[in-house]
């Protein structure tokens, strides 16, 4: 007997970015020319997905201030603005998405990534790696502690800079809800200039990626907080089966 899996609200491809967005140059040769083939009625293959409650999450996996400290007599902390990034994963009907995997990665406070391919002259921070993961709780909540990443230049136009951002990956209840995005910071003047942000046609779609300063969750004399809620496709109740 096959298990029963939910159906999901269709992904709005006009809201989501197109593949071919020539201002973001790399998309020119990496976007399909043919139309996507629509699976009108999703099969169990699309409606199912992995659950990561069996994945062993380490005690500092969501704490980037602690998970890459240099060994030594007196381990130190990364340099930069101490922040907490937190929010909820919910679906389009506002229902929490519990026990789902949220992963993130980012540059350090100077905009430098700890990756062998990143040759930007801003230095690495010996106490900062830039990777985190956690599982949402029963209410869909997640939290990371980190430093605010710096903006950095990249070779698109002659003088193009990425706004400060944190890459965010979420699975949700099925591979239909799988999503990778980038979180930006409220008020960053680089946001409207960025060719990667501007792959989105609708300014409201850009707003879904902007974290808000959250003074209520900031900690006095310690860190500022940013709130970033993630909305994944809504799971439909199945009222009728043929």
Partner 1 sequence: MYSQYKLQDDTGVLRETASQTAGPYVHIGLALEVAGFASRDDEIWENLAKEGAEGQHIELIGAVYDGNGDLVRDALIEIWQADSQGEYIAEFDNKKPFSGFGRSACATDGHYHFYTIKPGRVDFDHQKMAPHINVAVFARGINIHLQTRAYFDDEQEANSECPILSRIISPERQNTLIAVKEDTEEKPRYRFDIYLQGNNETVFFDF
Residues 165-204 that bind partner 1 (CB under 8 A): 167, 169, 175-176, 178-182, 196-197, 199-200, 204
| Residue pointed to by tokens 């905009």 | 111
Q: How far is the CB of 113 from partner 1 (least distance, A)?
A: 5
217 three-class SS:
helix
Which of 75, 115, 126, 219 forms a contact with partner 1 (CB under 8 A)?
A: 115
Task: Give catalytic status of residue 113 as yes or no.
Answer: yes
- Do 178 and 49 meet the contact criterion of CB atoms below 8 Å apart? yes
Q: Encode burial over 62-94: b for 16+ CB neighbours within 10 A, e otherwise.
A: bbbbebbbeeeeeeeebebebbbbbbbbbbeee
Q: How far is the CB of 159 from partner 1 (least distance, A)?
A: 19
- Do 211 and 226 meet the contact criterion of CB atoms below 8 Å apart? yes
Comparing CB distances to partner 1, the nearer of 123 and 219 is: 123
CA distances to 12, 41, 229 from 232, rounded to whole Å, are 12, 19, 10
Comparing CB distances to partner 1, the nearer of 187 and 221 is: 187
Q: How far is the CB of 228 from partner 1 (least distance, A)?
A: 9
Taking residues 124 to 153 in sequence order and writing x for each that binds partner 1 by CB under 8 A, - otherwise, the string is: -----xxx-x--------------------
Comparing CB distances to partner 1, the nearer of 57 and 137 is: 57
Q: In 3D, which of 26, 196, 179 has the Cα closest to residue 101?
A: 179
Question: Token digits for 27?
Answer: 């998309």
Q: How far is the CB of 22 from partner 1 (least distance, A)?
A: 11
Distance from CA of residue 192 to its chain's centroid? 19
Question: Token digits for 67?
Answer: 């998970």
- By the rule CB under 8 A, 238 interacts with partner 1: no
**How many residues form the binding site for partner 1 (CB under 8 A)?**
89
Which of 4, 36, 119, 189 forms a contact with partner 1 (CB under 8 A)?
A: 36
- Do 236 and 9 meet the contact criterion of CB atoms below 8 Å apart? yes
Which of 6, 61, 65, 97 forms a contact with partner 1 (CB under 8 A)?
A: 61
- By the rule CB under 8 A, 22 interacts with partner 1: no
Comparing CB distances to partner 1, the nearer of 39 and 219 is: 39
Measured distance CA(178)–CA(184) in Å, rounded: 19
- Do 111 and 122 meet the contact criterion of CB atoms below 8 Å apart? yes
> Which of positions 81-110 make contact with partner 1 (CB under 8 A)?
90-94, 103-106
Q: Sign (positive/negative) of CA torsion 181, 187, 188, 194?
A: positive
- By the rule CB under 8 A, 207 interacts with partner 1: yes
Task: Give catalytic status of residue 20 as yes or no.
Answer: no
Q: How far is the CB of 222 from partner 1 (least distance, A)?
A: 25
Task: Give catalytic status of residue 165 as yes or no.
Answer: yes
Q: Which residue of the set 5, 86, 88, 113 is catalytic?
A: 113
């Amino acid at each position: 007997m096959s298990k029963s899996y939910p159906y999901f609200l269709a992904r709005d491809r006009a809201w989501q970015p197109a593949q071919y967005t020539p201002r973001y140059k790399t998309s020119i040769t990496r976007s399909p020319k043919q139309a996507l083939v629509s699976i009108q009625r999703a099969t169990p293959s699309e409606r199912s997905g992995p659950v990561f409650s069996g994945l062993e999450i380490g005690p500092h996996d969501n704490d980037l201030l602690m998970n890459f400290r240099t060994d030594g007599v007196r381990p130190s902390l990364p340099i930069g603005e101490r922040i907490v990034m937190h929010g909820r994963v919910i679906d389009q009907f506002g229902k929490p998405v519990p026990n789902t995997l949220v992963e993130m990665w980012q540059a350090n406070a100077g905009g430098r990534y700890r990756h062998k391919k990143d040759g930007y002259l801003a230095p690495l921070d010996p106490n900062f790696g830039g990777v985190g993961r956690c599982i949402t709780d029963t209410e869909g909540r997640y939290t990371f502690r980190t430093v605010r990443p710096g903006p950095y230049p990249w070779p698109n136009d002659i003088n193009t800079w990425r706004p400060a951002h944190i890459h965010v990956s979420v699975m949700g209840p099925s591979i239909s809800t799988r999503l990778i995005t980038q979180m930006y910071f409220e008020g960053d003047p680089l946001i409207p200039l960025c060719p990667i942000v501007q792959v989105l046609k609708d300014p409201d779609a850009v707003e879904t990626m902007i974290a808000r300063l959250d003074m209520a969750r900031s900690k006095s004399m310690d860190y500022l907080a940013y709130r970033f809620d993630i909305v994944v496709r809504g799971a439909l109740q199945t009222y009728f089966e043929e």
